[in-house]
Structure 1
Amino acid sequence: MFKTDIITVPILPFGMVNAHVISTDTGCILIDAGIPGSEHKIGKALARHGLAFRDIKLIVVTHAHTDHAGSAAQVRALSGAPILAHQDDADFYSRKTPMTYCTTGWVGKLFLKTPVPHEPYKGFVPDLMMKDGETVNLLDFGVEGIVRHTGGHTPGSIVVELASEDIMVGDLIASGILIGGMMFKGRAIRPPFEDDPAIVSRELMRMVEAGGKRFHMGHGGPLEVPEVMRHASALAKIGRHQCASDCRHTGEDPQSLRALGETR
């Protein structure tokens, strides 16, 4: 097994938004790219560990929300690395279709009224497009692990399951006060938006059963197995219809989004 280092890149303070670099002796991949303009923070984090953009072999974007995909196009341009994502979020990445958000509570409803979730980013087409339930082996990029489609948070949500028993789950789970924050980072919470809690519950349980020990996420964390299982069990009791009735588009015009993706 390769020696694997997981480098957390704090895009916003207090773990409110994280990206992650997975570094081994033979490869380096980036998990998520933060909000638009985050390439500068990613570059500084790489430099602190003796790395540079040219060392990135792959960019994995876990889903199409702006705080995860916002700087993907810029990092690709700086590194030359391909972007890997799932086809079920493809129209969101290209800015052809506006995002749909299913709020999970008052935080999500309040957050949706702010400009943050709607912040446009430079549209892109992933170089490596996962389809249906296929997996991608990361050995070709110098990392022992696989990328797997889960859905649940967005239609095209994906996770990275490493041989080190670390799991990079994007937004399948969050922790802390107001996602991340200064307190209770070891306490799992639902993110502000979530398509289907039943799918998230099933996938979290599957990852634990498959040997996952540490769960790294885009907001807060990391979390250990007991807390992940507590959260997954709570999600299993939530009916899908409770979320489906509170899903809404961003309200952005797809035509203007498409133009933005073509011109930026």
Structure 2
Amino acid sequence: MNKPTIITVPILPFGMLHSHLIIGATGCVLVDTGTPGSEDKIERVLKKHGRSFRDVTLIVVTHAHTDHAGSAARLRELTGAPILAHAGDLDYYERRKEMTYCVTHWWGPLFLRSGVPGEPYLPFTPDILLQDDATIDLSSYGIEGVARHTPGHTAGSVSVELSSGDALVGDLIASGVFLGGFIRTGRAMRPPFEDDPQAVSGELMGMVEAGMQRFHMGHGGPLAAKEVRRHALSLRNLNPGRKYGMQAIGCACSEPKRAELVK
């Protein structure tokens, strides 16, 4: 078995936000695309490791929040790679529906009012659209592992599980104070938004029990299975938080023109 190389792509400093590249024997899979305009940061990391956009065989978008899906449409143009995502978030990818957010921390509504979580991105339709609890083998994209539906953070959240024991889980879990932040980076925490903590608990526990050893996420990390298990158990009896829409809290997020999104 050829163990893949997992490369962190910094999108924001201090581990606050990153994407990941999985470099396998015959393919390179990008997991999440960062905020709108992140393609240059991703290209720099590719070049640093002797790769280019044309080496990307697949783009996996773990969920529809702008910090994970924001550059997907542009990166598909640049790489020619298909986008894989889940139908549960399709309305948001295609910009046919306003995203709502179940906050997990007292500062969640303040974060929403900043407008950052609602930053618009260029709409797209995934080329590979998972349905229900589907799983897809990634061997045809040069990676030994699967991508599968892991709902809880959003209805359409997707994770990648590799035969090496690495799991890339988007926002099913975060770590550190202030999203990756400065302290307690090895301590799991809830992300700012989470639709269904009990569903997240079940998905994380399932991965731990299936033998996943290292968990890579969009904010902070990576974390060992023992810490992920502790966090998953802490979620078991929690109920979803209050749900907010961007307009409902008074955030007037303007829609940028296409020319502003596509450089």
> Which residue of the partner structure matches residue 247 of structure 2?
251
Same amino acid, percent of matched pairs: 57
Residue 40 of structure 1 pairs with residue 40 of structure 2 = yes
Deviation of 1:260 (Å) = 6.6
Q: Distance in 2 between matches of 1:52 and 1:237?
A: 45
Q: Distance in 2 between matches of 1:32 and 1:178?
A: 20
Give the letter aligned to residue 175 of structure 1. S
Q: Distance in 2 between matches of 1:46 and 1:132?
A: 33
Unaligned runs of 5+ in 1: none
SS in 2 for 1:21: strand
Aligned pairs for 1:76-95 (under 5 A) are 76-95=76-95
- Report the TM-score when normalising by structure 1: 0.93
> Which residue of the partner structure matches residue 205 of structure 2?
205
Give the letter aligned to residue 251 of structure 1. Q
Contact 1:9–1:20 under 8 Å retained in 2: yes
SS in 2 for 1:206: helix
Deviation of 1:19 (Å) = 0.1
Encode CA deviations 1:184-228: one digit per residue, 9 max, x unaligned: 110000000000000000110000000000000000000001111
Q: Distance in 2 between matches of 1:167 and 1:78?
A: 26
Q: Distance in 2 between matches of 1:125 and 1:251?
A: 24
Aligned pairs for 1:1-264 (under 5 A) are 1-240=1-240, 243=241, 246-251=242-247
Give the letter aligned to residue 94 of structure 2. S
Contact 1:107–1:178 under 8 Å retained in 2: no
Give the letter aligned to residue 91 of structure 1. D
Q: Distance in 2 between matches of 1:77 and 1:95?
A: 18
Q: Distance in 1 between matches of 2:178 and 2:133?
A: 32
Unaligned runs of 5+ in 2: none
Q: Distance in 2 between matches of 1:33 and 1:203?
A: 23
- Report the TM-score when normalising by structure 2: 0.94
- Number of positions where the alignment pairs a residue of Structure 1 with one of Structure 2: 257
SS in 1 for 2:117: helix
Q: Distance in 1 between matches of 2:210 and 2:74?
A: 35
SS in 1 for 2:19: strand
Q: Distance in 2 between matches of 1:137 and 1:201?
A: 24
Q: Distance in 2 between matches of 1:152 and 1:79?
A: 30
